[in-house]
A and B are shown apart, each in its own frame.
Chain A
């Protein structure tokens, strides 16, 4: 008689963990930051200072370089510049599906999140360079 070992049947099913929670977390955090801070950031850097309504001295090289050269300033700048990208590129990735672009979904994902990652690393490196100068 051929008795099959019962352990095989009871073997646990292997689950492949999704990477979605990580990206969704960054998407949510970026969306929060974009909702609360992007309007005032655009108002200051894009309108009030270029139009001279706020004196440009408030965003002068010395002031900003000093801020970027402190560890907390560097951290704040990194979050303000890079985090919204993790939100926007997530949305762009899903919008490509909405627009019916079916080809190479996994490459679309790599390119979208990879872009956010690349810019984050770019800014991080520059800030680290200023921090250690």
Chain B
């Protein structure tokens, strides 16, 4: 055993509440909890689907409960926040060079938003076919 006793600065668990930048970081990380719950709702839907028509329809009508509507509204807002943060980081991940020159980050972000809009409209059309 080492006899060394390194100094560890004390860190309270509310460190992320004292600075808006850190708060936004934790909201982004916290979005995971809501998206996890949403995925579990969908997984449950697949389970009900496998059980037959009656079970699946019960799952569908449970989604009409006011609590479910409010929850999904919240998930939608928080998922959009995830989308915004993800896209704003995109230039760091993509880092494209065209003819030796780095592509402007704004173009990469704009490309993501355009793709997002097309994908969203495409999905809405596909579901209504």
Q: How far is the CB of A124 from chain B (nearest CB, A)?
A: 10
Chain A residues, Cβ within 8 Å of B69:
46-47, 50-51
A40 and B119 contacting across the interface, CB-CB below 8 Å: yes
Q: Which of A5-13, A14-22, A57-65, A103-111 contacts its partner?
A: A57-65
Interface size class of A (residues with CB under 8 A): 35 or more
Q: How far is the CB of B95 from chain A (nearest CB, A)?
A: 14
Interface size class of B (residues with CB under 8 A): 35 or more
Chain B residues, Cβ within 8 Å of A45:
42, 45, 63, 72
A70 at the binding interface (Cβ < 8 Å): no
B103 at the binding interface (Cβ < 8 Å): no
Chain B residues, Cβ within 8 Å of A75:
none
Contacts A50-B68, A61-B56, A68-B46; A38 near B13 (Cβ below 8 A): no
B23 at the binding interface (Cβ < 8 Å): no
Instruction: Give the one of B32, B47, B63, B123 with max A CB within 10 A.
Output: B32
The 6 closest A-B pairs by CB, nearest first: A46-B72, A88-B32, A35-B86, A91-B32, A61-B53, A50-B63
